[in-house]
């Protein structure tokens, strides 16, 4: 009875201006687990979210379920009784547990997406997450590998073997195209056009873009594909570009390990594949590339996302200025 009153009071505190909708005939009959499965299928098949995002959102929702179970009881708290106050209480608990702002923002994005889905599909009568807003976070300037570090890491690869040739192609493609990890992992044979020197990339939300291939990346991928053809003739066919030693598609984790294997020798800070993507963008801007063009190459939806790399270039310019200009620093007057 006490729990019921808590939920009812929270429900009464909902924003009176929230939009409402007629409920579907099955309203109130769907269990949390069923809605969870429906939502994950929705973001996978209709929204084309990446496997990483689907996994993260799944974990976030399960964490929310645990909170509801511990504080209200899932069986006693149907989805339509979840209020904005309950969502904020959940987030407040995470803040007390010292979750980083970036982690909290992802959970907020997940809750907004989940309850929007429930609302649109008429599983709840109003959307309690509509008034949630992301927390302000400082945009950290990413660590950027310099060209000499990348060149040295690539030189460490033994390209006499098929796996070495593959690894060389991985590093060259990351640095030469700026592709995301998931984009490179999902690359198919038909996506590579070595005649016109372009690669068809499917980014976030399955958005398609064409990225050019430089000569070094083209040479690396050509050498690898020759050895790959020999491998696929001896094993089952696969249309994935990057294969493991068994002839199967190389996993995202596998790619991460291969990149880290070489980058660890040149840097202790930037051993993730994204370090090469960051370097790709920054080095283009350093050489005068247009910001909008870099945005398109990276597959960013918003220019503000790309602008983080202009801050990196600005820092480099300041450093060069201080080192080279005679009046950049105060002169030490001789006595």
List, by residue number, the catalytic residues.
Answer: 180, 204, 274, 277, 300, 309
Q: What angle do CA 22, 119, 74 make, to 5 degrees?
A: 110
**Hey, what are 288's tokens?**
């005068």
Torsions phi, psi for 208 (to 5 deg):
-95, 140
Closest CA to 50 of 252, 274, 304, 300: 252
With 0-12 / 13-18 / 19 or more C-beta atoms within 10 angstroms meaning exposed / middle / buried, residue 323 is: exposed
With 0-12 / 13-18 / 19 or more C-beta atoms within 10 angstroms meaning exposed / middle / buried, residue 159 is: middle
User: Rounded to whole angstroms, how far apart are CA atoms 248 and 246?
Assistant: 6
User: Rounded to whole angstroms, how far apart are CA atoms 247 and 231?
Assistant: 7
**Hey, what are 1's tokens?**
């009875």
**Hey, what are 231's tokens?**
């491998």
Phi-psi category of residue 80: left, alpha or beta, with phi > 0 → left and psi -120 to 50 → alpha: alpha
With 0-12 / 13-18 / 19 or more C-beta atoms within 10 angstroms meaning exposed / middle / buried, residue 113 is: buried
**């990149």: which residue's tokens?**
259
Closest CA to 61 of 15, 112, 14, 101: 112
């Amino acid at each position: 009875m006490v729990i019921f009153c808590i939920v009812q009071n929270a429900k009464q505190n909902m924003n009176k201006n929230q939009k409402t909708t007629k409920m579907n005939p099955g309203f109130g009959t769907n269990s949390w687990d069923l809605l969870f499965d429906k939502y994950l299928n929705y973001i996978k098949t209709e929204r084309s979210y990446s496997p990483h995002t689907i996994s993260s959102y799944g974990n976030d929702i399960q964490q929310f379920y645990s909170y509801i179970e511990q504080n209200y009881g899932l069986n006693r708290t149907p989805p339509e009784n979840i209020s904005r106050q309950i969502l904020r209480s959940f987030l407040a608990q995470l803040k007390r547990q010292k979750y980083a702002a970036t982690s909290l923002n992802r959970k907020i994005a997940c809750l907004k997406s989940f309850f929007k889905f429930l609302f649109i599909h008429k599983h709840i009568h109003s959307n309690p997450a509509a008034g949630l807003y992301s927390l302000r976070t400082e945009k950290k300037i990413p660590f950027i590998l310099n060209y000499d570090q990348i060149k040295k890491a690539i030189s460490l690869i033994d390209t006499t073997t098929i796996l070495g040739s593959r690894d060389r192609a991985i590093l060259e493609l990351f640095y030469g195209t700026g592709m995301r990890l998931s984009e490179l992992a999902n690359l198919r044979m038909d996506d590579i056009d070595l005649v016109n020197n372009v690669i068809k990339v499917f980014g976030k939300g399955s958005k398609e873009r064409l990225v050019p291939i430089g000569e070094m990346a083209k040479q690396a991928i050509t050498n690898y594909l020759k050895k790959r053809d020999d491998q696929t003739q001896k094993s089952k066919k696969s249309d994935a570009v990057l294969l493991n030693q068994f002839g199967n598609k190389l996993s995202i984790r596998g790619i991460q390990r291969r990149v880290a294997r070489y980058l660890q020798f040149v840097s202790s800070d930037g051993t993730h594949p994204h370090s090469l993507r960051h370097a790709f963008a920054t080095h283009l801007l350093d050489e005068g590339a247009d910001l909008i063009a870099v945005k398109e190459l990276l597959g960013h939806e918003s220019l503000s996302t790309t602008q983080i790399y202009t801050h990196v270039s600005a820092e480099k310019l300041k450093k060069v200025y201080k080192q080279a200009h005679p009046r950049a620093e105060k002169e030490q007057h001789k006595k």
